[in-house]
Structure formats: C-alpha cells, structure tokens
Amino acid sequence: DTGVSQDPRHKITKRGQNVTFRCDPISEHNRLYWYRQTLGQGPEFLTYFQNEAQLEKSRLLSDRFSAERPKGSFSTLEIQRTEQGDSAMYLCASQGTLTYEQYFGPGTRLTVT
Amino acid sequence: TQLLEQSPQFLSIQEGENLTVYCNSSSVFSSLQWYRQEPGEGPVLLVTVVTGGEVKKLKRLTFQFGDARKDSSLHITAAQPGDTGLYLCAGDPGNQFYFGTGTSLTVIP
C-alpha cells in the first residue's frame, strides 16, 4: 500500500503524560501536514513541512506541541504534558510538488483521561 | 469566523432524493477540493476544481466552482445510503490550507 499511514491508530493516555505520533507520507510527496479534528468539525491546521523544513506553524498551537521531519520522509508529532482538551483526532496529510491535492492518513485518535 | 463556511451543517434525507451542499468564502482560492470523511477515518479526496465556473461530474456527484473562485457547490443526485458521511471543502487562499466547517449527510434507506 502506498498511501499515507499513521501510527498508532488509537492512543489513550493520562493527563500530564507525553505522547508521540508517527506519520509516513506517500514516498514521492515532499509536503507533509498535521491537522487536529474534533467531532463533527473540519480539520484544523497545526503545522506544515516541505521536505525537512517546518515552514509554518499555527498560532493556535501550544508550546506543548512539537513536530519533526528529520530526513524529509516520516514525521512525528509530540504532545507534552497532555491535557483533556488535547483529546481529538490527529490527521496527517501529504502533498506532491505542484499539485493542489492533499492525501490523508487514517488518523490517530487521542483520548486523554 | 471561519474562512470557508459550509451549509447546511447537517442534512438528513431519504434515499433517492437530491441535495446540494454549499461552500462559501470572501477569499479567492486558486483551487478548491472536496473531501468525504467517514467516522474514525481520514478525509478522502473526491475532486479538485481549479477554473472559475468549472463543473466536474463524478458519477452522481456534480461539483461547481464559482466564477469568482470564492465559492463552490456539491450536488448529489439520487442519494444512496453509501453517500452518508462528512463532506468537507478545502483550499489554500495563499497562506495556509483551510477546511470548511463541514456538512454531515445522512441518507436514510
């Protein structure tokens, strides 16, 4: 399968713990995006990479959130000191050069108890 | 205030009926995409519209991009239960990729 993959699909954690999610984009895509989505709402932009460079970060993104794409391939999103308000679906998408479309992974559902 | 407003927010119809979903903005977009999302899954791309006034058909789905490239519509003919899902428009007005507020469609058999 050559689509976008995310791991894990589900994560349950206690408040105050750190969590890390992984995204593997479509191999030839150089752009990678992270989004957060709550129930019934559209995805909300978090951050964006072009190759290994993080070019944009939402002003809504707390300092507890950090993302990396060390070799321009897979990416990780870490949330430190999780809060109940962090409970959401975290989506990753990749996009090729000179194309409009983004292709999404299945998401990681985070539940903070 | 959302950059891309969709209407209606919720829609429940009987199988076989027609429906239209709207996506509106005050910003100009070089393109707009439409996605469909099922519960617990990521959005799946349906179509991209690029040219103002463009109409694209995908089986029973018809997508239109407004002449001014600020709005788009999705029309479904003879809806089926398999069309149930969250429909999202999305696009980049030049600075960031935005999603619409979403339309949750339920087609009742």
pLDDT tens digit sequence for A39-92: 888 899 999 999 999 988 888 788 999 999 998 899 999 999 999 999 999 999
Q: How far is CA A113 from CA A36, A60, A87, in A?
A: 18, 22, 9
* B86 with A101: Cβ contact below 8 A: no
Residues of B in contact with A35 (CB under 8 A): 99
Side chain identity, residue B26: S
First-to-final CA distance of chain B: 35
Q: What is the pLDDT of residue A99?
A: 81
Q: Which residues of A touch B98 (CB under 8 A)?
A: 45
User: Is residue B75 within 8 Å of B57, Cβ to Cβ?
Assistant: no
Given a cut of 60, whether residue A1 has pLDDT beyond it is no
Strand partners, B29: none
> In chain A, which residues have their Cβ closer than 8 Å to the Cβ of B104?
40
Mean per-residue pLDDT of chain B: 93
Structure tokens at B46: 């349906």
User: In this predicted structure, what is the pLDDT of residue B1?
Assistant: 58
Alpha carbon B38 to chain centroid distance? 14
Distance CA A51, CA A53 (A): 6
pLDDT at residue A36 greater than cutoff 60: yes
Give B67's DSSP letter: T
Could you report the per-residue pLDDT of B15-24, keeping only the tens digit for each? 999 999 999 9
Distance from CA of A42 to the nearest CA of B (A): 5
Instruction: Give me the torsion for CA of A5, A51, A103, B34, rounded to 10°.
Output: 150
Mean pLDDT of A5-18: 97
Of A45, A103, A107, the CB nearest to B97: A45
| B95 pLDDT tier (thresholds 50, 70, 90) | confident
**Residues of chain B found within 8 Å of residue A48, distances taken between Cβ atoms:** 96-97
The nearest CA of chain B is from the CA of A106 a distance in Å of 4
Q: How far apart are CA A78 and CA A98, in angstroms?
A: 29
The answer to whether B98 contacts A45, with C-beta atoms less than 8 Å apart, is: yes
Q: What is the mean pLDDT of chain A?
A: 92
Residue whose C-alpha is closest to residue A27's, from A88, A94, A92: A94
**Cα distance between residue B47 and residue B33, in whole Å:** 6
Q: What is the DSSP string of A8-63?
A: -SEEEE-TT--EEEEEE--TT--EEEEEEE-TTS--EEEEEEETTEEEEE-TT--T
Contact A102/B45, CB-based, under 8 Å? yes
Q: In 10 A of CB A96, how many CB atoms?
A: 15
